[in-house]
Amino acid sequence: MKARTVYVCSACGAQSPRWAGQCPACKEWNCLSEEVQALASRSSGAAAVSGAGKAVSLAELDATPHAARPTGLSELDRFLGKGLVPGAALLLGGEPGIGKSTFLLQLCGLLAAQGERVLYVTGEESLPQLKSRAERLDVLAPTLLAMASNSADEAMAAMRAEKPVLVVIDSVQTLASSLADGLPGSVSQVRAVSAQLVEEARKCGAALTLVGHVTKEGQIAGPKLMEHMVDTVLYLEGDRRHIFRILRVLKNRFGPSDELIVFTMAEQGLEIVPDPSTFFLGARDPSLSGAAVVMAMDGQKPFAVEVQALVSQSFLSIPRRAAMGFPPNRLHLLLAVMEKHLRLNFGQLDIYAKIGGGLQLAEPGLDLGLVAAVLSSFYDVPLPESAVFWGEVDLNGQIRPCQGHEIRFKQASRLGYGPILHPGSGKKGVKRLTDFQVALFGAKKTS
| Domain residue ranges in the chain | 1-41, 69-272, 291-445
Name residue 146's amino acid: A
Local structure of residue 300 (DSSP, 8 states): T
Contact call for residues 281 and 356 (beta carbons, < 8 A): yes
What's the confidence (pLDDT) of residue 101?
Answer: 92
The CATH number given to 291-445 is 3.30.230.10
What's the confidence (pLDDT) of residue 111?
Answer: 93
Series of mean pLDDT values for 10-residue runs along the chain (447 residues) = 71 78 84 69 41 72 78 85 89 90 93 93 92 92 93 91 93 87 84 91 92 80 80 86 84 82 86 79 82 86 90 91 92 94 92 87 90 94 91 92 88 87 73 87 57
CATH class of 69-272: alpha beta
Integer CA distances (angstroms), 429 to 294, 341, 371, 399, in order? 15, 19, 16, 9
What's the confidence (pLDDT) of residue 38?
Answer: 55
Tell me whether residue 97 is annotated as binding. Answer: yes
Alpha-carbon distance of 191 to 180, in angstroms, equals 9
What's the confidence (pLDDT) of residue 49?
Answer: 36
What's the confidence (pLDDT) of residue 44?
Answer: 42
What are the residues facing 91 on neighbouring strands? 210, 233
Alpha-carbon distance of 11 to 343, in angstroms, equals 48
Tell me whether residue 2 is annotated as binding. Answer: no
Tell me whether residue 184 is annotated as binding. Answer: no
Tell me whether residue 60 is annotated as binding. Answer: no
What's the confidence (pLDDT) of residue 317?
Answer: 87
What's the confidence (pLDDT) of residue 118?
Answer: 95
Q: Which of 216, 215, 217, 149 is nearest to 187 (CA)?
A: 215
**3-state DSSP assignment of residue 389:** strand
What's the confidence (pLDDT) of residue 166?
Answer: 94
What's the confidence (pLDDT) of residue 349?
Answer: 94
Name residue 320's amino acid: R
Q: What is the pLDDT of residues 214-228, one digit of tens each?
A: 877 777 776 777 888
Q: Which residues of 193-205 are buried (b: 16+ CB within 10 A; e: fewer)?
A: bbbbbbebbeebe
Tell me whether residue 94 is annotated as binding. Answer: yes
Tell me whether residue 364 is annotated as binding. Answer: no
Alpha-carbon distance of 269 to 353, in angstroms, equals 32
Judge whether 69-272 and 291-445 match in fold: no
